[in-house]
Structure 1
Amino acid sequence: MFSSRLPKDLSPSPFFAELERAKACAKKDAAEDGLSFIDMTVSSPVRAGLPIDLNAAVDEGRESFGCWNPDAAGWKSAREAVVEYYRERGGNFTAGQIILTASTSEAYSVLFKTFCDPGDVILTPMPGYPLLDTLAQLEHLECAPYFLQLRRERKGPSAKLRDLKKSAVLEPKANHKFTEPAEVNSFRYVLDTDSLLAAPERAKILLLVSPHNPTGHCVSREEWNAAVRFCEENDMILVVDEVFGDYAFSDKVSRTWKYVFGLCPPEPSLSQSSPSKSFLTEGRESIHCRFNDFWDAGGGDFINLPENGPKCPIFWLNGLSKAVGSPQLKLGWMAFYAPRERFEEIRAALEFVEDAYLSVSAPAQALGSALLKQSAAYESRVKERLLQNWQTLREAFPAKYCPEVLGGWYAVVRLGEDDEDLTLRLLREKHVLVQPGFFFDFDEDGWVVISLLQEPALFKEAVRRMADR
């Protein structure tokens, strides 16, 4: 009766059924003046007390709510707002490189429909977010893993001291003196580029997640170069999920599109030393960038495609869900690069798929244009919360149990014990809800995943209970 796309059994596993029962008991006990219940899996900024103000955006966009101007790529005005979002962060996409979707999940679906046939393979990170496997399965695709490895790095006293002084989470009080720490070990996840070589023959897409959910790994330039080279050699598509891209809090890493395009000045300017050209975009001032980076797709449709760029198509996925903490508005996008000789056919194929659905609503596009103007201020507000909670966590657990987080909303902690037993015991005895590591395909027991979004006082209390287990 049902499609083979669906799992054969849709009922919850015995573990998750028991987890729901334990959660209900913990909440009931808390309501009866027992130990308070703390949800350390919270992923919604609204639920964590970090909503964005929608009033101004609604007032600004209201007149467009009733409009119907179908465009397979999305309204030009909304795509220009996405371009401005990147420009504020040093990026230089143009509106012709933006495709709007109803969500990041839909963007995956569009890419899978455009580039894959049933039975093809998507390379996904392990550990990793389980939704990726579900989205592939719903398109009759298979997932094959590549791996993130936990690496120990020795860091001398001077380097450690510099990191502490530079850290945005430490705000020394007056007359505070830093004490030179002893040599320490730093643990963080890195991309095992050699594991890419085990890719099946029918692999079509390499999916990177940066910042990564749940490990907090961000793709370095060295890792990026290896991934691009792999895709070029195997005629594959490179997709980067950067929904947490605004929330990287380390100068060790960069947004991966900067590895392709370099940077344009945040304000229009001409350089005497390098040829440049001014490009007018709808409703905006002109942008001045290196002349050779821009390609005229016809009719003055200038696209930022560096002449000597990668030989594989690359897509960056993002949306309002994290950029302005508004998953309920259902607006995502993909920004893309392709070699000049393939760009138009790829854009036409994407728009063919998008035109079959036209799923992005007028209110979402109108609100998106208005809300993205607030994204930088919102990013700062959320990042302050993330950094504060990350500092709390790493002060509570030694580095070997709490790998370094370079960005994102999540962290992982290794507490030992069986994942299922540990998760249920923390919930029953400590009234703290975490996610078990097996849910993300960690290769060993004892890992739990927690959100860094929770209100700081609650987060600190939950970490204390976890450390005192």
Structure 2
Amino acid sequence: MRFSSRVNAGAMNPIAAQAAAAKAAGHPLGQLNDSNPTHHGLAPQFLPEAYTADPRGPLGARQAIADFINASRGRGVDSANAPAAPAVDPSNLYVLSSTSEAYAWLAMLLCNPGEAILMPKPGYPLIESICNLTATRAIPYQQFFDGSWALDLASIENALREGNGSVKAIAVINPNNPTGAYTKLGERQRLVELAKRYDAAIIADEVFYDFTLEPFDGNARWAGEQGVLTFSLDGFSKMLAAPHAKVGWIEVSGPAEDVAQAERHLDMISDDFLPMSNLIADCIPAMLQEAATQTERVAARVRGNMAELHRLLDADKQSGDGVVDVLRSEGGWNVLLRFPSSIDENALGLRLAHDFHMNCQPGYYFDMQSNGFLSISLLPEPTQFERNVQIILEAVHRELA
């Protein structure tokens, strides 16, 4: 795996090499230039501990996250059907402020300016925006809908081949937002094969993984993938339904040599941006204690609203006026509604704003390839959610009148 030249991870100078060797041998050298005030009794009373400046984040926080993952997801334990992903080692975790920051770090790790990351369409525009900020190109690959969503593997292979070595990663959202599609086993096997052939990494965003709606059997996390260099992203924002709890993490897995080299470069990126503060990291164990309860609470809400959505759409059809459908969504917080393509998405959005004082996200926000789609959140309280659906139905009927 060739990493970007943005990160100067060349050979150490003799002094730095000697210091590293002494540390590895368990006899770290004293520091004549130690400018860390927490090493000299100058930390404030409310933050008395020493700041370790570990580029991967405080070890205690990483250990707590690793323990949570291994215990809650059966990592390292063989299932009845197949071996589970290996237990996560805290040394393979990077704790940072958000998965958005993780995307930026990985773009800098993998891509020189002008090189590319493949990103799914339809999809949330975050990756493209971050690529722009990091002088990286975002090249779309398509998903198609035929009763359920699937990856256009041919478009991925074409982009890798035509990139002639400039495509450095394939971003996979598992499940996707807003399509709700998980990566299927056959798709995963093919993506690993393609990534290996074209010397690309996998970036797997799995923040919505636990919020299943209408899943197929056999879904699995990318986290712990051993076949190719893989960076899986997760965090508290979705797990705890707490976007103001900005803690995310990267788990690095794959062939041992690739992982070691990737982590060497990532350490330098993280160190330049400064590791997560102890003040935040100290809260992580307590937040993890809430994770199971919070995840189930949100999952119950979105599943209940999904069932209510089907009921409301069925009732509208039985009235003789029903023209709105919901596309199958395997997981996540949002679903796509489909209405007659004779209705312009902007016209419907303006009607929702004018007649009902409601804003919306039409399909073209996510680069849907045709007109007639609207994303709706499954998070509102049930009474508000029912009202939202009824407003959409009324707006569609008015547009058709």
Q: TM-score range by the shorter chain?
A: 0.7 to 0.9
Q: Which residue of 1 aligns with 2:276?
A: 360
Shift of 1:317: 0.4
Structure 1 counterpart of 2:67, which letter? E
Identify the match of residue 108 of structure 2 among 105, 113, 118: 113
* Aligned: 1:257 with 2:222: yes
Shift of 1:254: 2.4
What does 1:170-189 align with in structure 2 at a 5 Å threshold?
A: 187-189=147-149
Q: Which residue of 2 aligns with 1:413?
A: 337
Instruction: Identify the range of structure 1 (251-260 vs 192-201) with the bigger mean alpha-carbon deviation.
Output: 251-260
| 8 Å contact kept, 2:143–2:151 | yes
Q: Which residue of 1 aligns with 2:62?
A: 79
Matched residue SS, 1:129: coil
Shift of 1:85: 2.5
Structure 2 counterpart of 1:196, which letter? I
Q: Which residue of 1 aligns with 2:393?
A: 467
Distance 2:375 2:211 in 1: 17
Distance 2:332 2:212 in 1: 6
Shift of 1:63: 6.7
Distance 1:204 1:64 in 2: 41
Q: Which residue of 2 aligns with 1:243?
A: 207
TM-score (norm 2): 0.77
Q: Which residue of 1 aligns with 2:16?
A: none
- Using a 3 Å threshold, how does the CA distance of structure 1 residues 343 and 359 change in structure 2: closer, same or farther? closer
Identity of aligned residues (%): 29
Distance 2:361 2:217 in 1: 28
Shift of 1:373: 1.8
What does 1:247-396 align with in structure 2 at a 5 Å threshold?
A: 247-249=211-213, 250=215, 252-257=217-222, 260=225, 309-310=226-227, 312-396=228-312
Q: Which residue of 2 aligns with 1:403?
A: 327
| 8 Å contact kept, 2:224–2:251 | no
Q: Which residue of 2 aligns with 1:145?
A: 140
Matched residue SS, 1:432: coil
Distance 1:450 1:64 in 2: 43
Shift of 1:427: 2.4
Structure 2 counterpart of 1:71, which letter? D
Identify the match of residue 154 of structure 2 among 194, 198, 217: 194
Structure 1 counterpart of 2:243, which letter? P
Distance 2:280 2:209 in 1: 21
| 8 Å contact kept, 1:403–1:412 | yes
Matched residue SS, 2:368: coil
Size of the aligned set, in residue pairs, is 324
Q: Which residue of 1 aligns with 2:74?
A: 90
Shift of 1:363: 2.3
Shift of 1:364: 1.9
Q: Which residue of 1 aligns with 2:42?
A: none
Gaps of 5+ in 1: 1-61, 152-186, 261-308
Matched residue SS, 1:356: helix
- Using a 3 Å threshold, how does the CA distance of structure 1 residues 391 and 431 change in structure 2: closer, same or farther? farther
Matched residue SS, 1:83: helix
Distance 2:216 2:69 in 1: 18
CA distances 1:154-174 after superposition (whole Å, capped 9, x unpaired): xxxxxxxxxxxxxxxxxxxxx
- Using a 3 Å threshold, how does the CA distance of structure 1 residues 385 and 63 change in structure 2: closer, same or farther? farther
- Using a 3 Å threshold, how does the CA distance of structure 1 residues 134 and 258 change in structure 2: closer, same or farther? closer
Distance 2:177 2:50 in 1: 37
Higher relative contact order (CA closer than 8 Å, sequence separation 6+): 1
| 8 Å contact kept, 1:189–1:403 | no
Distance 2:46 2:331 in 1: 37
Distance 1:68 1:143 in 2: 37
Shift of 1:104: 0.6
Shift of 1:112: 1.0
Shift of 1:376: 0.8
Q: What is the alpha-carbon root mean square deviation over aligned residues?
A: 2.0
Q: Which residue of 2 aligns with 1:209?
A: 173
Shift of 1:94: 1.1
